[in-house]
Amino acid sequence: MKHAEVTSGLWSFMPTFYALPSVAEAMLSLQDEHDIYVVLLLTVLYAVSAGMHLRTEDINKIDAEIMRFRETAVVPLRTIRTGLKLLPEFLFVSSVVTLRQEVKRLEQMAEKIDASTIADMLAKYQVSNAPITDERTKTAIAAFCQFVDYRISTNESAPLDVIMKSLKNHLRDVNE
């Protein structure tokens, strides 16, 4: 797959999937409670939807490639943005609201840079023409869970259940 195809596909998929009902809430829950990087999770879901097969080793490689930039740019910007929300005395001060919005824009720009780097790496994977099955989707999610060492207990599986269900519905809608 060509880099331009992967980049446009990834950027088309990410906001579309993230906007599905309950997905943003589930992903932010995983990010806040389990330190899961949403951009990387969306990448794995995109790879599944594009017919790529990512193993845990592949996800490790991708993560290693983007880790320094994420830790240097994305995480500090996110910390500033979320920290500003924790200052109740400044919540409605217009200049602080503007600052928070600008930091959010910069955080999203940094995430976009990460996604572009990831797209470079994904362009090297072969795309399978085999049908995207529930089993393939579960395998990709399991590889991601193994990567983040996320042990799914009964009460913690709800966010991933929402994401799995949304991905199944998304793939069904796209393939109809």
Read off the pLDDT band of 135 (50, 70, 90): confident
Read off the pLDDT band of 76 (50, 70, 90): very high
Residue 13 in tokens: 């998929």
User: Which H/E stretch holds residue 16?
Assistant: helix 3-18
Say what the pLDDT of residue 108 is.
92
Read off the pLDDT band of 94 (50, 70, 90): very high
pLDDT in tens, 41-62: 998 888 888 878 788 888 888 9
Q: What is the DSSP string of 76-88?
A: HHHHHHHHHHT-G
Cα atoms in the 13 Å half-sphere on the side-chain side of 91 = 5
User: Which H/E stretch holds residue 37?
Assistant: none
Residues sharing a CB contact under 8 Å with residue 164, sequence separation 6 or more, in sequence order:
137, 138, 141
The strand ranges marked E within the chain are none
pLDDT in tens, 7-21: 678 888 899 999 999
3-state secondary structure of 29: helix
Say what the pLDDT of residue 157 is.
61
The answer to whether the CB of 10 falls within 8 A of the CB of 111 is no
pTM attached to this predicted model: 0.81
Please report where in the chains the tokens 């929300």 appear, as a residue. Answer: 85
